[in-house]
Chains A and B, each alone.
Chain A
């Protein structure tokens, strides 16, 4: 605590509480917290569902098609009793199913890449819920966590970094800045002089994390949605009208989708209006921004609590289990025919009593302790590394790669920012090197090439 803080302390506990509350309030309204964490969660779940759908491509008919062993008719009877949401119940035709499957793949890819994320997360959720609820008995724990997270992701600003949206906004900003500077407008100088308008390429703009009126940021949000965003919004509107008229939604789901659609449209309109509009419009835009941050931060908290619940309840239940108490629990899954793709390896590991004991006790201790280690950064990171390692070994040993990928993606919400930034930088550098090696590839982001390189790249001209 600084000297200033200590002097403030003299004001008494009430002032301190007030200061804490207002600072906390400012934090949760001004920014969408954890930009890297939410981005890695988005990428992780997008990848898990995308790879799963691609892997099951040859089996898609058997899993979710109209003539699956769990037929459309059987699903119809079950869904009539529980009102689960699935667009696959709209029609029993095969082409409708094929379309939904392909759109689900596209949505997963869009979420992974962060392409028009606000819209694609909704489509992602529709895809996940539709396919999984169509055939509930085909899924496992991995599907279940993807199901939960697909709904949570809709409310997060998870494309602030590592996304095509962030790149598009950055480029929009750069073009805009270059244009204003060239034109020599007074506004341009003013903007160029503001450090936040220039030096925050990744966090500025869509969604605007600057958290305060920023002419370029607002313009970037308004402009960067681009034609693609408008087209997507219009198409979704048409689909919503059609399916509402045809009675495809329950009242609850209809309200939910229409509300989302209206909010997305409103956000676009408000941002465009705020570029030239007066104080009132700007304030409206700021309030919308604050609401979006609130929703994001609230749901981020829910995601974190959900992950803690997964582990702590699993841990608590395990403590009651006799096999976890006598230290043999881990031995049994390694001897189940359905979970031993590599029996020799599993039996080798299960044959070592001391190791089985250590992993069994270690698992319970980790799961029970995990929520409490969040109070201490270092302890949390150690346990996180342990749990991710355990899930990696589950992926191989028990033949559950998609389950493990989903669990690791959920764990990733607790990864430290410094690590994520470091990993991101190395991935970018690696990607740049790979692109440089490819024929016709250019390393890294498009930046002005050195003159010599430009000549070499155009031998015909120089000859």
Chain B
């Protein structure tokens, strides 16, 4: 088992091309040119998408985006420029209608803590535990303004997505009643500064509460089809 690179030195290949007829050689030359240009273009596009905003990417932003999205996108930066420095948890509560006609508002349930428990001691956490709620919340926050108003289609989609994630975990019945409305809030806690550093800052949890959402049958498991 020897590497092919050592077995077929360049000289043989040269004979390979040289042995071709003139039309074939012209064809190969064109192919070389096409492949070279293609690679240069592809690499340039991918580079411009990942590089910081600059003179060229500002001028050709549309071309870059139309080429790179959706399949050649690179959407992670390996903890750059700064790693996330706060724990973002999503809490949810519900108003349930009891069978005796009364309604009750439940306490807040920390859904992210449930994920955390599933991840704890797990050598290969599932995407449903590590990514589902975490990334859904990023999606939601990115597409809502500060007052919790959805921005465009993505805003509305993210809202439905969060509702369905919550309802999947609550189930249609909670505390002996059926869930009528739900409310979510985020609980953001900065990671405490390292013990070995002299940096000090407030690590109090900050809550951002979203409006109440009416639950429909489409938000329940089985209602998505």
Contacts and interface: CB of A to CB of B under 8 A. Distances in A.
A287 B131 contact: no
Contact of B196 (A69, A81, A351, A402): A351
B121 A341 contact: yes
Nearest to B134: A338
B137 to A, nearest CB: 10
Interface residues of B, number: 93
A22 B16 CA distance: 12
A29 B15 CA distance: 11
Contacts of A83: 70
Interface stretch (B6-14, B55-63, B99-107, B171-179): B6-14
A306 B165 CA distance: 35
Given A26-B14, A202-B1, A78 B116 contact: no
Contacts of B196: 351-353
B13 A331 contact: no
A78 B38 contact: no
A343 interface: yes
A323 interface: yes
A287 B224 contact: no
A290 B168 CA distance: 55
B3 A35 contact: yes
A55 B124 contact: yes
Interface residues of A, number: 112
B13 A30 contact: yes
Contacts of B24: 283, 286-287
B181 interface: no
Contacts of B127: 56, 59, 63, 138-140
With a 10 A CB-CB cut-off, give which of A66, A321, A332 has the most chain B CB atoms: A332
A71 B224 contact: yes
Nearest to B39: A298
Contacts of A315: 80
Interface string B192-204: 1011110000000
B78 A141 contact: yes
Nearest to A329: B83
A84 interface: yes
Contact of B224 (A72, A82, A151): A72
Contact of B168 (A32, A69, A160): A69
Given A30-B13, A209-B8, A335-B192, A138 B124 contact: no
5 contacts: A82-B70, A139-B135, A294-B35, A315-B80, A421-B3
Interface of A: 22-23, 25-36, 55-56, 59, 62-63, 66-74, 77-78, 81-85, 92, 129, 133, 137-141, 144, 147-148, 151, 160-161, 196, 200, 202-203, 209-212, 283, 286-287, 290-291, 294-295, 298, 301-302, 305-306, 309-310, 313-318, 320-324, 328-333, 335-343, 350-353, 356, 367, 396, 399-402, 417, 421, 424-425
Given A22-B14, A332-B84, 6 more contacts: A25-B32, A67-B222, A71-B225, A147-B71, A310-B78, A314-B78
